[in-house]
Every structure is written in structure tokens, then in C-alpha cells.
Amino acid sequence: MAKTVVVTSGKGGVGKTTTSAALATGLARQGHRTAVVDFDVGLRNLDLVMGCERRVVYDFVNVINGDATLNQALIRDKRVEGLYVLAASQTRDKDALTQDGVERVMTELSEQFDYVICDSPAGIERGALMAMYHADDAIVVTNPEVSSVRDSDRVLGILASKSRRAEQGDEPVREHLLLTRYSPERVNKGEMLSLEDVGEILAIDLLGVIPESQAVLNASNAGVPVILESESDAGQAYDDAVARFLGEQRPLRFTDVPRKGFFGRLFGS
Amino acid sequence: MNLLGYFRSQRKKSASVAKERLQILVARERAQRGGPDYLPALQEELLQVIRKYVEVDQDAVQMHVDREGDCEILELNITLPEHHQ
């Protein structure tokens, strides 16, 4: 029985797909069989970030409609053993993800894998609700910015009322905060909400802080999950987050400004 | 704070403004959450019924849903004006 994890946020552009790719790759690298599923029907992008866009033959909706088997549609990652991608469909039909169809595919995935990562689309429409519905754990990706924090809080409310666990009265979905695009310099200047501020408002467990980093764009340009860029700050921060997700204790990194010398302090801005 | 920064204006930092605004907003949105979807419509209709008899303000009808175990408690608070015909 797999553990199902939704990567969600409400707001778009905060790093859900980057996080889904990094988390799935990190879990597979630790020896867990992992599938990462793109729920963004009509705006498929996980395949690009994972670098397998030219190998998509069948997608999620094909499997739901019975045009392909799940194993035909799963794309095996060539870099990491035990890592598979299920691409979203490019159809414009918003109702393509049927409740029953998604349920069947999730059940089948759950039998084959240790972890199923659901990359949610932005918003709180059908695709996002479907991605959240089956979750055991939720990673709420948030930027230190008012609109993102508000949307994250809204999503937490939906997880608490509309998920399968909520409907069936099971133990609630475990919620984890992942703060992304964090800039310690701007926090120090009082221009950006600090991780303590966001933590206080959302009041959920902090899984990790990913610094604003050139490495994220570079990695997505190349179709490499940023966690594989092990020299980069963002790659290391994701590696820490995956380790914490698996129960390891690791101190936060990249959340403080490196100390400046005397002249830097005098004249730096 | 560096020397240059010291002479810059001392206005409130934007991050603390953001935090205050969010705390107020999130608290309000959480209070509304969890209630049934028909709550806003019910509130509006109650207001209209009351206005047939008494002239009241837009915010005269306050509703709040509480949960105790399996039991939902709908708290309804109607403020009437002090002097009415």
C-alpha cells in the first residue's frame, strides 16, 4: 500500500511542480519505488521538469478511459531506479478526470509503489480537488508573500473538509509546510515575511525552506529535477526536506544571511 | 543596520505590515470556514425578512457555526436598533 502525497498550494507559480519532481526523485533515490502523477489536465508540465517530454506516449486520461494500461503510460526515469512519471493529458476537457477513473488509477498505483506523489494544478477546481482527495500527506508549497500564504490557508481548509480522510472520518491528512523562494537577505531587511511569520500564521509542521536560487531555473531549463544538482543550495535544501519527510532530523540551512565583513556592514545595503 | 540604512526613512517594514494584514484576514476566513455552503444565502434572506419589520443595518445578522463532537451549533445574533417604531 503506497503512501499518497499531494503537493499543493492554491496559488500558481510557487514551485509545486519543481517540488513534486524533487520530492519524487529524492524518495526514489532513497530506494523507495515512487510514481509522480501530473494532475494538471490541459497544462501538462511535469514531463518537462522531469525531462521526459519526448517519451510521453500515453497519459493519465488515456489510462482512465482504458485506451492504455497503467504500465504502458508510466514513463521510467533513466537516471534514478524505481522512479516513474505519469503525464497529464493535454485535452481541454475539464471533466476528463472522473472521480471513479482517478480512484481506479490511484488504487492500481498504490499496489505497485511505495509513494505516489500527486502534483496538483493551481486553483481549487476539479484537478486540484482530485489531487488532494486521495492524500495521506500534503505538502503545502508556500512563498513568503501575502497572496501565497492566504491561498495556502484556504487549501488547508479544503484538505480538512473535502479529502477522503475527512469524508470517511479517518485520521486527518498530515500537513507539511514547504517554504520556497526564500530570501534571507530580504527577510533581514524586513521586506519579506520570515519563516517564523509564515509558520505562526499557518501553524503547520515545517518540512523545509528552499532558498530563492538560480539553480531552480537552470535545472528546469535542462529537464533535471533540481535535487539532482547536489552542489546547488536548492538541491541540498530539497535533499534535507526529503530526509525530514522520511523522519530524519536535520537542521535548517540557507535561512540566514552569510556574515559580512566590516566594510560590507558599513556600506552594504 | 548599516550606516546608510540608519539615515533612510524609519517607516514600518513591509514584512510586518504583511504579517498583520494576513493574521486578521486568515482569522476571519477561518471563522467563516467549515460552515455549510448555504450560510451566506441564509444570512441574506434572514436579513431581508427582518427588514420587513424593522430597519436594521447590513451587519445586523451575525452567524457562527460551532462544532461539538457530532453536533453542529448554529449561533445566530441579531442586533436590533435601540429606537424603533
Distance CA B46, CA B52 (A): 10
pLDDT of residue B71: 83
Q: Do B15 and A153 touch (CB under 8 A)?
A: no
Q: Is pLDDT at B8 greater than 60 in this prediction?
A: no
B30: region left, alpha or beta (phi > 0 left; psi from -120 to 50 alpha): alpha
- Mean pLDDT across chain A: 95
**Ranges A190-204, B5-19, B56-70, most confident:** A190-204
Q: Distance between CA atoms of A113 and A74, rounded to whole angstroms? A: 12
- Which pairing describes strands A75-76 and A83-86: parallel, antiparallel, or unpaired? antiparallel
Q: Is the pLDDT of residue B2 over 70?
A: no
- pTM of the full structure: 0.84
* Residue (of A88, A166, A177, A174) closest to A141 by Cα position: A177
The answer to whether A35 and A82 are in contact (CB under 8 A) is: no
Those residues with Cβ within 8 angstroms of residue A147's Cβ, 6 or more apart along the chain or in another chain: A11
Decide which of A89 and B9 is more confident.
A89
- Mutation choice for B interface testing from A182, A193, A257, A266 by most B CBs within 10 A: A193
What angle do the packed helices A146-162 and B14-32 form, to 10 degrees?
Answer: 20
Q: State yes or no: pLDDT of A20 exceeds 90.
A: yes
Q: Which residues pair with A36 in a beta bridge?
A: A85, A117
Instruction: Give the pLDDT mean for B7-28.
Output: 83
CB contact under 8 A, A157 and B13: no
The per-residue pLDDT for range B26-50, each reduced to its tens digit, is 988 887 776 677 888 888 899 999 9
Separation between Cα atoms, residue A154 and residue A164, nearest integer Å: 17
Amino acid A152: pLDDT: 97
DSSP state, residue A166 = H
Whether residue A131 is predicted with pLDDT greater than 60 in this model: the reply is yes
Which cell goes with A133? 482527495
Arithmetic mean of pLDDT over chain B:
81
Residue A236: predicted pLDDT: 98
Position with higher pLDDT, A117 vs B30: A117
Are B16 and A153 an interchain contact pair (Cβ–Cβ within 8 Å)?
A: no
Q: How far is CA B49 from CA A22, B55, B79, in A?
A: 56, 11, 14
Nearest-CB residue to B33 (from A150, A157, A266): A157
pLDDT band at A4 (very low <50, low <70, confident <90, very high): very high
Q: What is the pLDDT of residue A54?
A: 96
- Contact A253/B at CB under 8 A: no
Q: How confident is the model at residue B84 (pLDDT cuts 50, 70, 90)?
A: low
Q: E strands of chain A, at which residues?
A: 3-8, 34-38, 75-76, 83-86, 115-119, 137-142, 174-182, 205-211
**A226 DSSP 8-state letter:** G
Q: What is the pLDDT of residues A98-110, one digit of tens each?
A: 999 999 999 999 9
CA distances (Å), origin B85, targets A109, A179, B53, B60, B81? 69, 57, 10, 17, 10
Mutate to test the interface with B, among A142, A147, A148, A149 (most CBs of B within 10 A): A149
